[in-house]
Amino acid sequence: MRYSITTFRQLYYACKEQNKPIFEIALENEVDKGDYSEYQVRLQAKKSLDAMKEAIKEGINSVELSPSGMSGNECDKLKKRYAKTHSLLGLTAEKIMIYALATSEQNLRMGTIAACPTAGSCGIVPSVLIAFAEENKIKEEDEINALITAGEVGRIVSNKMALAGAVGGCQAECGVASAMAAAALTQMRGGTVKQIINASALALKNILGLTCDPVCGLVEIPCVKRNPFLAIHAVTASELAMADIMSKIPADEIVDAMEQTGQLMSPLLKESSKGGLAATKTALALEKNILK
């Protein structure tokens, strides 16, 4: 049976009624649209997953700076740090942060990345999903299922608002990416549909109001380092959700609040590079230097 799913509440009850996981409901609805078969949908998800893995591989092995010269070697620094001293958060967290930086820096080099949901937030979902899968020997089929679940979360949020910094600030980019990553991770850890949706809600509501204020108008500062921060944010959301610590505000109401927050946010803080970090003395000096 096809469901017209535009909210997390509808998604939850569709899964409950059919006793199916989120990725199966998402797959069936995509197939019911008539454009693609289930095989084609899964194949496209695999292509995205492969692109994510390739971006991580290339990013880890490169120290090439971005055209501006402001970014490109942070991943290498972190990798060298962990070669000497391990993170207090553990090996999986180390991988997540390294992978997030590697992917985000590949984006700066104009390498191939999977926008999930955007290029500026491209390191969050891949780092969480792939690092956990590697450390826990998760099968590729289950990685694809988790990626489809992440996509469904992003799709539902996008029914309310555009996933773009120019519309809703970075809460609509890195914030939504974190919610998607939290859902994918919780599914791979064996979470229930309720826990998966709750993980997304927890991730999203605790990043409301995040501005989009790229220095020099480039997707570098603070975008690159925002990716590992929000990747770990997703892990925290999953940890709480797996303990059945519930968001008191339902996921759909959080999305409504995010939309309202985006509308109330000053245009100067929505990708204009005229406010926030982009308007600091140092940022303006960097911009003048780059223009020279």
Confidence category of residue 186, pLDDT binned at 50, 70, 90:
very high
Confidence category of residue 35, pLDDT binned at 50, 70, 90:
confident
Q: Give the residue-averaged pLDDT of 237-246.
A: 98
- Asked if the structure places residue 3 within a domain, the reply is no
pLDDT for the residue 292: 76
Among all chains, which residue has been given the structure tokens 């946010």? Answer: 265
Partner residues linked to 212 by β-bridges: 270
* Residues 192 and 137 sit within 8 Å (Cβ to Cβ): no
| Helical spans, DSSP H, in the chain | 8-18, 22-32, 38-60, 74-84, 91-108, 124-135, 140-158, 165-168, 174-188, 193-205, 223-242, 251-264, 281-291
Q: Give the mean pLDDT of the chain.
A: 96
Question: Which 3-state string (H, E, C) describes 27-70?
Answer: HHHHHHCCCCCHHHHHHHHHHHHHHHHHHHHHHHCCCCCCCCCC
- Asked if the structure places residue 2 within a domain, the reply is no
* Residues 269 and 277 sit within 8 Å (Cβ to Cβ): no
Q: What is the pLDDT of residues 40-56, one digit of tens each?
A: 999 999 999 999 999 99
The Cα 3–Cα 89 span in angstroms is 41
- Asked if the structure places residue 68 within a domain, the reply is yes
pLDDT for the residue 90: 96
Task: Give percent above pLDDT 90 in the chain.
Answer: 96
pLDDT at 203 over 90: yes
- Asked if the structure places residue 1 within a domain, the reply is no
pLDDT for the residue 33: 87
The set of long-range contacts for 139-143, using a CB threshold of 8 Å and a minimum separation of 24, is 140/46, 140/49, 142/188, 143/49, 143/188
Structural domain count of the chain: 1
Could you please report the per-residue DSSP string of 107-145?
A: HHTT-----SS-STTTTHHHHHHHHHHHHTT--HHHHHH
* Residues 178 and 207 sit within 8 Å (Cβ to Cβ): yes
What does each C-alpha distance from 120 to 157, 182, 240, 262 come to in angstroms?
17, 18, 26, 17
- Asked if the structure places residue 23 within a domain, the reply is yes
Inter-helix orientation angle 38-60/91-108, to 10°: 90
Confidence category of residue 114, pLDDT binned at 50, 70, 90:
very high
- Asked if the structure places residue 117 within a domain, the reply is yes
Among all chains, which residue has been given the structure tokens 């999203």? Answer: 204
* Residues 204 and 255 sit within 8 Å (Cβ to Cβ): yes
Sequence length of the chain is: 292
Q: Give the residue-averaged pLDDT of 246-257.
A: 98
pLDDT for the residue 2: 59
Domain that holds residue 65: 8-291
- Asked if the structure places residue 283 within a domain, the reply is yes
Q: What is the CATH number of the domain that holds 169?
A: 1.10.4100
Based on DSSP, count helices (H) and strands (E) in the chain, helices before strands: 13, 0
Q: Is 162 left (phi over 0), alpha (psi -120 to 50) or beta?
A: beta
Q: What is the pLDDT of residues 7-34, one digit of tens each?
A: 999 999 999 999 999 999 999 999 998 8
- Asked if the structure places residue 245 within a domain, the reply is yes
Neighbours of 291 (CB within 10 A): 7
